[in-house]
């Protein structure tokens, strides 16, 4: 089947599934509460009825991205549906929906916590750290104490001496992560909070400025990492970068021990030590308040 015909069938089904009351439209006489007429969709989307009819009929026309974006809004398409519609017309995928909250959904936090033996965190599109588990807090305790405005992985990478000391390959990691950040941000670099973060780092870090001016572009595939911890020594791990299908604006970064090393044992010891410290601090607070 031709892509134009597939698009036509897709638009038709989505038009017929719309609930008129949700759009402030009266119920049609003798019809159900669902479904809009073609002329209604065309009017709401700001396109001609003839043009929209041709699209549903599967004619070999070339709709612009602006037209498809308008139709996507009118038809209340999800992010996945909008990506699908644009792909049928040969347009690139839109950027993921922004994460507007400073917290992650509860089920994402539960997923991170389920990997308590392995460090894991969730970051927003601008690389703000939104959530983490006990393993990551043990590996990098400052994540729990830094102010919310500074809890951004790219910012901490260039400004926190403790994070720098934990990375024997810090210079390479900086260049690599800056290139990955630039690639992910894309045309959003001119928008806050992306532009605010970049401007702040340019004023603060010469190392960031040098990496930024290279204009390198990289992806974030899985790769082996070494973290040097002052208490348990070197931790040899593999970094995995995942994206929940239901929250395309979130990135989950997880670190798993490399089997041929004793990292599993070292991580377990580190997490246990962190738990003891937290319990001791909690008990002291209780004594003070009591």
Domain 3-88: which CATH number of 1.10.3720.10, 3.40.50.2300, 1.10.10.10, 1.10.260.40: 1.10.260.40
Q: Say which CATH architecture domain 106-289 belongs to.
A: 2-Layer Sandwich (3.30)
Could you tell me the residue ranges of all domains in the chain?
A: 3-88, 106-289
pLDDT of residue 219: 81
pLDDT of residue 280: 66
Neighbours of 115 (CB within 10 A): 17
pLDDT of residue 244: 82
pLDDT of residue 98: 55
pLDDT of residue 155: 98
- pLDDT tens by residue, the chain, 290 residues: 688 888 999 999 989 988 887 777 777 766 556 788 899 999 999 999 998 999 999 998 889 999 999 999 999 988 778 888 988 888 877 665 555 556 788 889 999 999 988 999 999 999 999 999 999 999 999 999 999 999 999 999 999 999 999 999 999 999 999 999 998 888 788 888 999 999 999 999 999 999 999 999 888 778 899 999 999 999 999 999 988 877 767 889 999 999 999 999 999 999 998 888 777 666 665 555 55
pLDDT of residue 80: 77
HEC secondary structure over the chain: CCHHHHHHHHHHHHHHHCEHHHHCCCCCCCCCCECCCHHHHHHHHCCCHHHHHHHHCCCCCCCCHHHHHHHHHHCCCCHHHHHHHHHHCCCCCCCCCCCCCCCCCHHHHHHHHHCCCCCEEEECCCCEEEEECHHHHHHCHHHHCCCHHHCEHHHHHHHCHHHHHCCCCHHHHHHHHHHHHHHHHHHHHHCCCHHHHHHHHHHHCHHHHHHHCCCCCCCCCCEEEEEEECCCEEEEEEEEEECCCCCCCCEEEEEEECCCCCHHHHHHHHHHHHHHHHHHHHHHHHHHHC
């Amino acid at each position: 089947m031709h892509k134009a015909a597939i698009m036509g069938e897709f638009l038709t089904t989505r038009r017929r599934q719309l609930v008129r009351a949700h759009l402030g439209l009266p119920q049609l006489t003798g019809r159900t509460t669902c479904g809009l007429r073609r002329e209604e969709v065309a009017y709401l989307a700001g396109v001609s009825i003839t043009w929209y009819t041709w699209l549903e009929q599967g004619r070999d026309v070339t709709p612009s991205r602006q037209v498809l974006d308008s139709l996507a809004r009118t038809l209340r398409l999800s992010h996945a549906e909008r990506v699908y519609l644009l792909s049928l017309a040969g347009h690139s995928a839109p950027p993921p929906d922004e994460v507007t909250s400073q917290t992650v959904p509860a089920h994402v936090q539960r997923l991170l916590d389920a990997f308590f033996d392995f460090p894991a965190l969730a970051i927003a599109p601008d690389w703000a750290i939104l959530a983490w588990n006990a393993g990551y807090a043990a590996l990098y305790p400052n994540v729990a104490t830094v102010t919310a405005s500074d809890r951004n992985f790219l910012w901490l990478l260039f400004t926190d001496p403790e994070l720098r000391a934990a990375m024997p390959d810090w210079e390479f990691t900086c260049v690599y992560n800056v290139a990955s950040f630039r690639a992910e941000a894309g045309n959003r670099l001119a928008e806050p909070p992306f532009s605010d973060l970049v401007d702040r780092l340019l004023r603060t870090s010469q190392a960031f400025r040098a990496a930024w001016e290279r204009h390198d572009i990289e992806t974030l595939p899985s790769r082996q990492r070494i973290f040097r911890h002052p208490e348990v020594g070197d931790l040899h791990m593999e970094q995995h970068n995942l994206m929940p299908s239901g929250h395309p604006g979130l990135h989950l970064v997880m670190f798993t021990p490399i089997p041929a090393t004793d990292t599993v044992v070292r991580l377990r010891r580190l997490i246990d030590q962190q738990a003891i410290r937290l319990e001791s601090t909690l008990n002291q607070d209780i004594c003070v308040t009591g």
